[in-house]
Amino acid sequence: MTPNLASQSELPEVLLVDDDLVSREVTATLLTLNGHMVQTAEDGDACMKLLADGTCRPDVVLMDAQMPGLSGTELIAELRAHTQARIFAISASEPPRDVVAAVDGFLLKPFGAEALRRLFEALPQPPTASPQPDEPVVSPETLAQFRRMMPEPAVRQIYTAVVADLRRRVHELGAAIGRNDETEIRRIGHAIKGGCGMAGALQAARLGALLESGNAGPESYRLDNKATVLRDLRAATHALEVMLEAELPA
């Protein structure tokens, strides 16, 4: 394989989780030669420590499907709750069905540079929280109504509470997606739709409605691509935080 001389900033950063030393070193070498920034972890616990420390912000996680300790759908649930990265299982044998259902794709060992290249080329462009170009973060009518009814600090308190609740829901949603728990996903969506709808948080309310329905909206938002909805919900939460600081500074 010819080393890729493109800037590393143009390529997805990879977190590789594999308890087998040889597999881990060979895969990391293939990725590094192709220009990727790579960090490795020998098991699920070490992987989550890297994420918790903030020393690793991967675009892609390659995780062995069967490892001792934190592994399988339990590890996937933790990853969904703490990173927006695409998650791919790697295994020398067919992984369990629940693992396949919870990840974004699967590579069978042994794989080479070409298989990795195809995997990364197929990655979609990062989604945005607002596919509808004119959709505001917050309904101007709802915000104006709140301002007529109460002082600015009280209005700020409402949206501060909405942001805090969304952060908690995002964490719960990541765990539910990792478990492939459709009932819980819909429950979370229902709660987001209701609360954010009352507060006029339009982007988040729309995403909550999509989660609740299970298959409504554009194809890219169907629940067979749950990770996309989760990333967009994180982005909508951030957009609401930005609006809060701009419109209602402390």
Mean pLDDT of all residues in the chain?
82
Q: For residue range 25-83, list pLDDT tens digits in order.
A: 999 998 988 888 999 999 999 999 998 887 788 889 999 988 888 888 889 888 888 88
Mean pLDDT of 186-193: 91
In terms of domains, do 215 and 158 share one? yes
- Asked if residues 43 and 19 have their Cβ atoms less than 8 Å apart, the reply is yes
Could you give the CA distance from residue 139 to residue 200 in angstroms, rounded to a whole number?
Answer: 5
| Confidence (pLDDT) at 66 | 84
In terms of domains, do 105 and 196 share one? no
pLDDT band for position 201 (50/70/90)? Answer: very high
pLDDT for residue 122 is more than 80: no
In terms of domains, do 98 and 189 share one? no
Q: Is the peptide bond before 151 cis (omega within 30 degrees of 0)?
A: no
CATH code, domain carrying 154: 1.20.120.160
| Confidence (pLDDT) at 171 | 84
pLDDT for residue 210 is more than 70: yes
Mean pLDDT of 233-245: 88
In the chain, the percentage of residues whose pLDDT exceeds 90 is: 29
Single-letter amino acid, residue 232: D
- Pinpoint the alpha helices (H) of the chain: 21-33, 44-53, 72-82, 97-102, 113-121, 140-149, 152-179, 182-199, 202-213, 226-247
Higher pLDDT: 128 or 201? It is 201
Going 85 to 223 to 202 to 82, the CA torsion angle's sign is negative
pLDDT for residue 4 is more than 50: no
Point out the domain boundary residue: 65, 87, 121. 121
Range of the domain at 83: 8-121
Kindly state whether residue 153 falls inside one of the protein's structural domains.
Answer: yes
Higher pLDDT: 199 or 217? It is 199
In terms of domains, do 105 and 197 share one? no
Model-level pTM?
0.57
- Asked if residues 96 and 65 have their Cβ atoms less than 8 Å apart, the reply is yes
In terms of domains, do 68 and 147 share one? no
Kindly state whether residue 135 falls inside one of the protein's structural domains.
Answer: no
Kindly state whether residue 126 falls inside one of the protein's structural domains.
Answer: no
pLDDT for residue 208 is more than 60: yes
Kindly state whether residue 128 falls inside one of the protein's structural domains.
Answer: no
To which residue do tokens 């969904």 refer? 80
Instruction: Please count the structural domains in the chain.
Output: 2
Higher pLDDT: 34 or 219? It is 34
In the chain, the percentage of residues whose pLDDT exceeds 70 is: 86
Question: Distance of alpha carbon 39 from its chain centroid, rounded?
Answer: 19
| Confidence (pLDDT) at 41 | 92
pLDDT for residue 142 is more than 70: yes
Could you give the CA distance from residue 76 to residue 230 in angstroms, rounded to a whole number?
Answer: 14
